């Protein structure tokens, strides 16, 4: 009897092995595999609690399953074809670039604007198809719903003559600034990049550990007087001049930033990659240089402990950034099915209810304003709108984001005044802040190298700073070790 | 196919080939080529002429030396007392020292961060000290265990003999126990010193913003300079090799002469 059972088990095992080996072969017939690579924690994974329903008047929005599963189901229901998403993540734009260079293959990825420019410049990106831009197709949620403000930026910026919008579809966007503790730091103090050098908060401020963000902040602090002068701000070409100034990579400027950063290094708590959010919440630091999406997340988390943090945007300039989907030539390899699935992926994420789900889940701001679909604005009102009996309320115009001409009064929220310095101000910055937002362009290879070297010099230990006591200690240690070794050898020889 | 002992070695050889030999070849290739794939010594010369890499090497060495010294100063007495005492619950105490190793390393450092914050207030004022404390906390068991094992295995009659021959306790320790425990010290040092030079996670987590070797290599890689980064890794490998050879030589000699030298 035992023998028979053993044989059956063995047979089952063998059969199982065969089946699992065969599975990919069987599946390939009628299934498109879409390899997606995006930022960590940058998409709704579903599984919301029941109290998290977003009950808009036009219907509830609720994240039951992960966005990836929902997309697979939606694609099958809509196009009658199975798609399987292989979803992977990356930690930084540079990591993604290294992964791609070392041979990882993806069909669609979601880097930041400067990395999109780099990939475009290197001819790795496949352009979006004409159908993608067809506004008459109901399922083209992206082109129908993308904010006119974002679309304009994508249409007016180019790399080697190709505008961004030809190849990239925005996913999330935001600005940079400081999350701060209003009990310790005043709004005025936090509203300048010079906060980093403020001795009153010595070793209580964290700054991003990444060369582009720190460079931008240092340039802002160094050019404070120019950037805030009346003459500069009121110039008709303000936007263009601002972008030129903030992207100044002349050798002189790089030298100055190096000196500046080396000078403030000892005034900071640390350069951080990920710990800043937690340290802000636990009160280890009083201000943290943050991307607006993470700022929203930080403020939300702190609020759960009845701890209120604010967000300030430096008066000199703020860095407006975008993360967008681009399709890679190496992945698609001109397979029309894959391209169709990739573009459907963008469109599915751009459907207003899905955009809301992602925003709610990760704290960043979607590039989608919804077009004719009013659910994004409805969500904003649901999230930030003042209660009827609230007293200290203000009107907050966000028309620049939702409409072509920007001053449509239909898109004005009535919100508690405090929200201006809090989540709303970070997630949907006011028009005055948007006015001083500057893009940080992609630096070419020589420029990047010079800036990277500068950054390494800032971070490395300067051997000239070694105090004499340390040299003496070192000599003593080495001499001692040498002496002991020599002595023990001598003793052994004597025996 | 005839099954021999050699067959058992095949997986090991494969493993070596895949995860040691091939990566080393890749490392050498990158270290001695430039972006166009041509042979160059520029990276090697760059390492020894760039004040940044030299400064970082110095800083890493400093951290590693301090960590090793502190570990040794704590570990030796602990190991000695544990090994020679007549304590009944010795195993329990040893366990207490080893147990932290069962807990995930980054969790431990996170906990340490909170404790240090309680004591120091603001961690940012003592980055070097904190790094050494963090590393010591992390690596201490690696120092205690080998020293404890060596001392515990010492023949107690050797000490007794020394005492019979008129040596007082201090002398017996200095001339018998200490020399005989050198192999334990050596393996303890090599298990602490080498990782302490590159373990930049501890520095990151304890807010030390100065680069050590590990973070410097990372910064080269994220600037897509694999050639410079590989060279740093290679030089580091060279330093470690020299270090191990020196230590190993010491060990072998001890083994040959029978250890204790009176």
pTM of the model: 0.88
B181 contacts in chain A (CB < 8 Å): none
Chain A residues in contact with B219 by the CB 8 A cut-off are 452, 455-456, 459
pLDDT of residue B198: 85
- The reply to whether residue A495 touches residue B261, judged by beta carbons under 8 angstroms, is yes
Tell me, yes or no, if B210 comes closer than 8 A to chain A by beta carbon. Answer: yes
Q: Sign of the CA dihedral B81, B87, B88, B92? A: negative
**Interface size between A and B, measured as CB pairs under 8 A:** 94
Residue B4 pLDDT > 50: yes
ipTM over 0.95: no
Q: Which residues of B touch A485 (CB under 8 A)?
A: 250
Q: How far is CA A52 from CA A58, A356, A357, A360, in A?
A: 17, 13, 11, 10
* Selection from A13-22, A126-135, A455-464 with the highest mean pLDDT: A126-135
- Determine contact: A90 vs chain B, CB below 8 A: no
A296 with A359: CB under 8 angstroms? no
Lowest mean pLDDT, pick from A98-102, A395-399, B86-90: B86-90
Query: Would you give the DSSP letter of residue B20?
Result: I
Instruction: Please provide the CATH number assigned to the domain covering A33-172+330-367.
Output: 3.40.190.10
- Which residues of chain B does A269 touch, with a Cβ-Cβ cutoff of 8 Å? 122-124, 207
Enumerate residues 6+ apart whose C-beta is below 8 A from A370: A145, A352, A355, A376, A377, A402
Whole-angstrom Cα distance, residue B97 to residue B83?
14
Per DSSP, B168 falls in state -
pLDDT tops 70 at residue B223? yes
Of B22 and A10, the structure prediction assigns the larger pLDDT to B22
Judge: A462–B210 Cβ closer than 8 Å, yes or no.
no
User: Is residue A91 pLDDT above 60, yes or no?
Assistant: yes
User: Confidence class of residue B258 from pLDDT cuts 50, 70 and 90?
Assistant: very low
The pLDDT-based confidence of A23 (bands split at 50, 70, 90) is low
Least confident piece of the model among A8-17, A474-483, B113-122: A8-17
Contact A97 B204 (CB under 8 A): no
Question: Is pLDDT at B253 greater than 80 in this prediction?
Answer: no
What is the mean predicted confidence (pLDDT) over A179-193?
96
Question: Does the beta carbon of A484 lie under 8 angstroms from any beta carbon of chain B?
Answer: no
The rounded mean pLDDT for chain A is 90
B203-222 pLDDT, tens digit each: 989 988 899 998 999 899 88
- Tell if the CB–CB gap between A209 and B117 is shorter than 8 Å: no
Confidence grade of residue B260 (pLDDT, cut at 50, 70, 90) = very low
Q: Using a CB–CB cutoff of 8 Å, tell me whether A492 touches chain B.
A: yes
Chain A residues whose beta carbon lies within 8 Å of the beta carbon of residue B124: 203-204, 268-270
Residue A35 has pLDDT above 80, yes or no: yes
User: Domain A176-319+385-458's class?
Assistant: alpha beta
- Does A33-172+330-367 match A176-319+385-458 in CATH topology? yes
| Angstroms from B94 CA to nearest CA on chain A | 29
Whether the per-residue pLDDT at A465 is higher than 90: the answer is no
User: How far is residue A381 CA from its own chain's centroid?
Assistant: 24
Q: Which of A292-296, A393-397, A471-475 is least confident?
A: A471-475
Whole-number pLDDT of residue A19? 55
The pairs formed by A138-141 with CB atoms below 8 angstroms and a separation of 24 or more are A139/A78, A139/A344, A139/A347, A140/A347, A141/A347, A141/A348, A141/A350, A141/A351, A141/A352, A141/A368
Position B262 pLDDT exceeds 50: no
Among candidates A271, A452, A495 on the partner chain, residue whose Cβ is nearest the Cβ of B209: A271
Chain A contact set for B250 (CB, 8 A): 485, 488
Is the torsion defined by CA of B59, B65, B69, B72 positive or negative?
positive
Asked if B222 is an interface residue toward chain A (Cβ–Cβ < 8 A), one would say yes
Which residues in chain A have their CB less than 8 angstroms from residue B215's CB? 459
Q: Residue B135 pLDDT more than 90?
A: yes
- Domain architecture of chain B: domains with CATH: 51-257 (1.10.3720.10)
Q: What residues contact B31, with CB distance under 8 A and at least 6 apart?
A: B43, B44, B227, B230, B231, B233, B234
Output the pLDDT for position A9: 55
The predicted pLDDT at position B137 comes to 92
The two beta strands, A168-174 and A365-366, are antiparallel
| Each residue's pLDDT tens digit, A191-244 | 999 999 999 999 999 999 999 999 999 999 999 999 999 999 999 999 999 999
Backbone angles phi, psi at A129, to 5 degrees: -75, 165
Q: For the segment A116-137, what is each residue's pLDDT rounded down to a tens digit?
A: 999 999 999 999 999 999 999 9
Is residue A437 within 8 A of residue A318, CB to CB? The reply is yes
Q: Cβ contact (<8 Å) for A460 and B222?
A: no
At B179-199, the pLDDT tens digits run 888 889 988 988 898 889 888
Closest Cβ–Cβ partner in B53, B222, B261 for A94? B222
CB A226, CB A232: distance < 8 Å: yes
CA distance A297 to chain B (A): 21
* DSSP structure string for A313-347: --SS-EE-EEEEEEEEHHHHTT-HHHHHHHHHHHH
Every domain of chain A and the residues it spans: 33-172+330-367, 176-319+385-458
């Amino acid at each position: 009897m035992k023998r028979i059972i053993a044989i059956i088990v063995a047979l089952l095992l063998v059969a199982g092995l065969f089946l699992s080996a065969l599975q990919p072969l069987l599946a390939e017939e009628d299934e498109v595999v879409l390899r997606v690579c995006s930022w960590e924690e940058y998409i709704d994974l579903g599984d919301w609690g029941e109290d998290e329903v977003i009950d808009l008047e036009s219907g509830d929005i609720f994240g039951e399953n992960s966005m990836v599963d929902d997309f697979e189901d939606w694609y099958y229901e809509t196009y009658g074809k199975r798609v399987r998403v292989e979803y992977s993540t990356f930690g930084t734009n540079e990591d993604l670039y290294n992964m791609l260079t070392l041979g990882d293959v993806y069909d669609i990825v979601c880097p930041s604007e400067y990395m999109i420019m780099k990939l475009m410049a290197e001819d790795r990106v496949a352009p979006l198809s004409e159908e993608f831009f067809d506004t008459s197709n109901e399922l083209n949620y992206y082109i129908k719903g993308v904010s006119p403000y974002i679309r304009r930026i994508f249409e007016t910026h180019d790399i080697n003559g190709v505008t961004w919008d030809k190849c990239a579809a925005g996913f999330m966007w935001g600005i940079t600034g400081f999350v701060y503790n209003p009990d310790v730091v005043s709004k005025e103090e936090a509203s300048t990049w010079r906060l980093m050098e403020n001795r009153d908060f010595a070793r209580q401020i964290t700054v991003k550990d990444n060369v582009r963000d720190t460079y931008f902040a240092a340039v802002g602090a160094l050019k404070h007087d120019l950037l805030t002068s009346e003459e500069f701000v009121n110039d008709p070409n303000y936007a263009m001049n601002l972008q030129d100034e903030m992207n100044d990579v002349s050798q002189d400027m790089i030298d100055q930033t190096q000196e500046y950063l080396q000078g403030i290094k000892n005034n900071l708590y640390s350069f951080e990659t990920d710990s800043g959010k937690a340290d802000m919440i636990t009160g280890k630091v009083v201000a943290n240089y943050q991307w607006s999406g993470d700022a929203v997340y930080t403020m939300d988390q702190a609020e759960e402990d009845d701890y209120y943090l604010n967000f300030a945007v430096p008066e000199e300039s703020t860095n407006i950034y975008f993360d967008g989907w681009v399709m890679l030539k190496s992945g698609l390899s001109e397979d029309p099915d894959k391209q169709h699935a990739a573009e459907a992926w963008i469109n599915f994420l751009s459907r207003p209810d899905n955009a809301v789900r992602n925003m709610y889940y990760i704290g960043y701001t979607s590039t989608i304003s919804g077009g004719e679909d009013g659910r994004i604005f409805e969500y904003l009102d649901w999230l930030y709108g003042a209660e009827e009996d609230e007293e200290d309320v203000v009107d907050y115009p966000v028309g620049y984001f939702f409409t072509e001409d920007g001053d449509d009064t239909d898109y004005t929220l009535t919100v508690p005044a405090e929200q201006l310095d809090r989540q709303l101000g970070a997630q949907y910055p006011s028009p005055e802040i948007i006015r001083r937002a500057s893009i940080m362009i992609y630096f070419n290879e020589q420029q990047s190298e010079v800036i990277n070297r500068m950054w390494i010099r800032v971070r490395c230990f300067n051997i000239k700073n070694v105090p004499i006591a340390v040299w003496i200690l070192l000599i003593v240690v080495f001499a001692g070790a040498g002496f002991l070794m020599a002595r023990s050898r001598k003793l052994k020889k004597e025996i | 196919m005839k099954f021999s002992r050699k067959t058992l070695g095949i997986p090991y050889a494969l493993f070596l080939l895949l995860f040691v030999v091939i990566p080393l070849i890749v490392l050498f290739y990158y270290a001695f080529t430039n972006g166009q794939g041509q042979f160059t010594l520029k990276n090697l010369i760059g390492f020894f002429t760039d004040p940044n890499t030299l400064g970082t090497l110095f800083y890493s060495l400093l951290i590693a030396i301090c960590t090793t010294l502190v570990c040794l100063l704590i570990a030796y007495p602990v190991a000695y007392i544990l090994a020679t005492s007549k304590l009944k619950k010795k195993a329990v105490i040893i366990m207490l020292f080893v147990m932290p190793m069962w807990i995930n390393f980054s969790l431990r450092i996170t906990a340490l961060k909170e404790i240090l914050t309680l004591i120091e207030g603001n961690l940012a004022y003592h980055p070097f000290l904190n790094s050494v404390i963090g590393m010591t906390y992390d690596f201490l068991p690696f120092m205690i265990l080998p020293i404890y094992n060596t001392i515990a295995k010492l023949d107690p009659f050797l000490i007794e003999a020394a005492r019979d021959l008129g040596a007082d306790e201090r002398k017996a320790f200095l001339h018998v126990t200490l020399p005989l425990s050198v192999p334990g010290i050596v393996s303890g040092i090599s298990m602490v010193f080498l990782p302490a030079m590159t373990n930049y996670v501890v520095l990151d987590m304890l807010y030390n913003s100065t680069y050590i070797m590990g973070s410097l290599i990372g910064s080269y890689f994220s600037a897509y300079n694999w050639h410079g980064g590989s060279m740093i890794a290679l030089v580091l490998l060279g330093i470690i090799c020299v270090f191990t050879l020196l230590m190993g030589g010491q060990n072998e000699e001890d083994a040959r002469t029978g250890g204790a030298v009176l």
